[in-house]
Amino acid sequence: MNDTLTLNNGVQLPTIGFGVFQSEPEETTTAVQTALAAGYRHIDTAAGYGNEREVGEAVRRSGLDREEVVLETKVWVSDYGFDETRHAFDTSAAKLGVDVIDVLILHQPMPQHFERTVDAYRALESLLAEGRVRAIGVSNFMPHHLAALAERTEVVPALNQVELHPYFTQRAVQEANAERGILTQAWSPIGGITFYPGWGEGRRSVLEDETIGRLADEHGVTPAQLMLRWHVQQGRSAIPKSTNPARIAQNLDISGFVLSDDELRAIDALDRGVRGGPDPDEVDPSTWDVTIPDA
Ligand code: A2P
């Protein structure tokens, strides 16, 4: 699968990208090298993941031209503010070992300190104008955060990366994104957040959902492949994470089947309306003990 989506400024983004959230630095380089060898051309990381250096190393080791790989990373909330976010760009670019970051986004809306969020976004706008980033966007923005940002800034975000899997489909966010010309990008697209250890008791893995399992069996694919196909057919970007070579390859191999409208609707109907990740209205620099070290 090597389809691409076109962002609102014309930049091409591979539909299926590769995620490295919760990939330990030691395993990230190998995982990203495996992904690039399998055909992925978009890697999603974040300053807050602590593995940008390893992502950059994998791209260099791959032998691919820099232009062939779309690198996306995120500014952490402790680096919001105009000057701080410009510095965060320098830090991420240095760790990745690149001059230009393809997609640079704000990791959280941080509504309690929205002035700083707006200043951070204005820094992204300035980097875009200077050609140091090719596209800018946001993550975990709910419709009211998008509205507040739009009132204060010029450039419409190219994408909004949000938790999105069959148990949490975020219809209102998808609609708000679409109305504004923002691409919806799914994090935890196969529902890893519903079973990641340490993220709360009593979770039920989407990968083990009965309906997902039945539909996957009917198409002769795995639950993960089924969910990724659902994203792609509904026009979303998805960034599944894996450190396992067979699963890395499997998650890109989703061209050989098509879901019917009824099947897409059956998957939509699994929504429980309960997020697995943190509430974007709550996250601020004190939520996690994360500061981003200089390069
Ligand atoms: P692993 O890295 O061992 O493959 P998400 O991207 O939705 O958060 O999901 C990531 C989680 O799903 C990780 O725990 C990953 O584990 C697992 N995973 C990734 N691909 C598959 C797959 N094809 N089948 C089952 N589990 C998968």
Domain for residue 289, yes or no? Answer: no
pLDDT of residue 200: 77
Name 262's Cβ contacts closer than 8 Å, sequence gap at least 6.
none
Q: Torsions phi, psi of 250, nearest 5? A: -55, -40
pLDDT band at 198 (very low <50, low <70, confident <90, very high): confident
Give which of 81, 78, 75 is closest to 115, Cα–Cα.
81
**49 in catalytic set:** yes
pLDDT of residue 1: 79
Res. 289: pLDDT tops 90: no
Domain for residue 164, yes or no? Answer: yes
Domain for residue 170, yes or no? Answer: yes
Domain for residue 294, yes or no? Answer: no
pLDDT of residue 186: 98
pLDDT band at 2 (very low <50, low <70, confident <90, very high): confident
pLDDT of residue 287: 83
pLDDT in tens, 213-235: 999 999 999 999 999 999 999 99
pLDDT of residue 203: 87
Contact call for residues 216 and 263 (beta carbons, < 8 A): no
**Cβ count near 184 (within 10 Å):** 22
Is residue 191 in contact with ligand 1, taking CB distance under 6 Å?
yes
Q: Crossing angle for the helix pair 223-233 and 210-219, nearest 10 degrees?
A: 90
Average pLDDT over residues 129-140: 98
CA-based Rg of the chain, rounded to a whole angstrom? 18
Domain for residue 254, yes or no? Answer: yes
Name 246's Cβ contacts closer than 8 Å, sequence gap at least 6.
none
Res. 4: pLDDT tops 90: yes
Domain containing 92 — which CATH number? 3.20.20.100
pLDDT in tens, 227-274: 999 999 999 999 999 999 999 999 999 999 999 999 999 999 999 999
Q: What is the Å distance from ligand 1's center to 4 Cα? A: 22
pLDDT band at 285 (very low <50, low <70, confident <90, very high): confident
Domain for residue 192, yes or no? Answer: yes
Percentage of residues in the chain having pLDDT higher than 70: 100
Its pTM stands at 0.97
Active-site choice (49, 80, 121, 167)? 49
The two tokens of residue 18 are 């590769």
pLDDT band at 97 (very low <50, low <70, confident <90, very high): very high
Domain for residue 25, yes or no? Answer: yes
Domain for residue 23, yes or no? Answer: yes
Residue type at 69 in one-letter notation = V
Is residue 247 in contact with ligand 1, taking CB distance under 6 Å?
yes
Q: To 10 degrees, the CA torsion angle through 279, 244, 102, 144?
A: -10
Res. 197: pLDDT tops 90: no
The two tokens of residue 159 are 């994408």
Name 171's Cβ contacts closer than 8 Å, sequence gap at least 6.
271
Indicate the number of domains in the chain. 1
pLDDT of residue 99: 98
**Which residue range(s) make up the domain with 215?**
4-275
pLDDT of residue 206: 96
pLDDT in tens, 37-70: 999 999 999 999 999 999 999 999 999 999 999 9
Ligand 1, atom 7, residue with closest C-alpha: 188
Is residue 32 in contact with ligand 1, taking CB distance under 6 Å?
no
- Higher-pLDDT residue of 37 and 197 is 37
The two tokens of residue 120 are 């951070």
pLDDT in tens, 60-96: 999 999 999 999 999 999 999 999 999 999 999 999 9
Q: Torsions phi, psi of 46, nearest 5? A: -160, 150
Res. 26: pLDDT tops 90: no
**Cβ count near 7 (within 10 Å):** 22
Res. 22: pLDDT tops 90: no
pLDDT of residue 78: 95
pLDDT band at 176 (very low <50, low <70, confident <90, very high): very high
Q: What is the Å distance from ligand 1's center to 225 Cα? A: 11
